[in-house]
Structure 1
Amino acid sequence: MMRLYWSSRSPFARKVMVAAHETGTAGKIERIRVAVGSALMSEEVMHYNPLNKIPTLVLDDGAALFDSRVIIAYLDGFRGSPRLVPQDAHQRVAAARWEALGDGIMENSTLTIGERKREALHSAKHDAAYRKKTVATLTLLEKEAQALAAAPFGIGAIAIGCALSHLDFRFGDENWRAGRPNLARWFETVATRSSFIATAFEEIY
């Protein structure tokens, strides 16, 4: 059985588990909860991933895969058509672009959380920059929500769905839905998928 180092609070770990449910591989993965951070080291994770990051997937032969994009590309190989990663070159690039936007929101969110934990050393300038980039990305996704809805469900939708649900989880008071009705409607549809319901964020790591 494969082993996944993860946290129920990590949007990137959730992204992998959503993909695992979508590809029918969730039952082949043992989840190992672990807490890591920029200054919070895990020797167990470091044994497999020198970057000390999650998600990290350890295969049956002991080889390790990271980050979420690499892991999902591997899991997608267990599945027939249609795939999470499109085979058509044009569709694959479009999906990868959406994935990058979703990943970018998640990166800004995790950086914001880390910055705010610095308390006395907290940089309002950095905080504002992360927020500005997230807002700009959400504005773009609002314009592309109809295209998202029309595209086959895959890596782009998974990344964006996880990013938006993480905003609800960590920054719910900022109400990303305000002024973005198309994106909100798209998200409500995605959030009802069994893969998203089964992988809801939890406050425990």
Structure 2
Amino acid sequence: MRRTAVNRVLLGVVGAVLLAAGVLVLAGGLDLYLRLGADPPGWWPLTSPDQPVLSARSRTRWADSAWWWPVVIGGLAVVVAGTVWWLVAQLRRSGPAGLVVPTPGATGLRLRVRTRALEEALEAGTATLPEVERAGVRLVRAPGHPRLRGAVRLTPGGDPAALVEHFDTGPRTDARTSLGLPELPADLRIRVLQAAPSGSRRRRGRRRPPRVE
């Protein structure tokens, strides 16, 4: 799963929880339960404007226990550390944002292709290769030049060696030529699906990732 998909799922879950909590707090603060004749959730303490979110008993119930403050501080520290890690992960890029495309004969013209557009083109080209069921390609940073990392799933009985050859002479060569790069190394992780007997679960065979230099 890509970083953008993970971010969307996490933001969606957090947003839904915060929205639900906000609606419950607003309903209790505006006394909507009484006005509308609705029954509040049995586990929700704030049902009227005169009630606090946490009662005095709830706030002081575990205050005298030796484990209470270490657990509270440790939990908050984990939340803060996780938030900082997530923020750093968003700021860090695993690959270049874009690449310059050469324009022979056009003086003063500078073209730049987005990394994601290049990855989508490579994925589409790889997916059309023989025996390929699914393909994913990423462009990552490497010393002196970019590098491709691909994950390809072959149909049962697929030939990894043939895939490497087709990928090398097809999508990889097209990308390298279009970008005017002297070399574009690639790491491929190939999985070959194994045909399972009727009625049983299909199994996947793993192959050691080959390198295309």
Range into which the TM-score falls when normalised by the shorter chain? under 0.3
**Higher helix share goes to which structure?**
1
Higher relative contact order at CA 8 Å, sep ≥6: structure 1 or structure 2? 1
Length-normalised TM-score, structure 1: 0.26
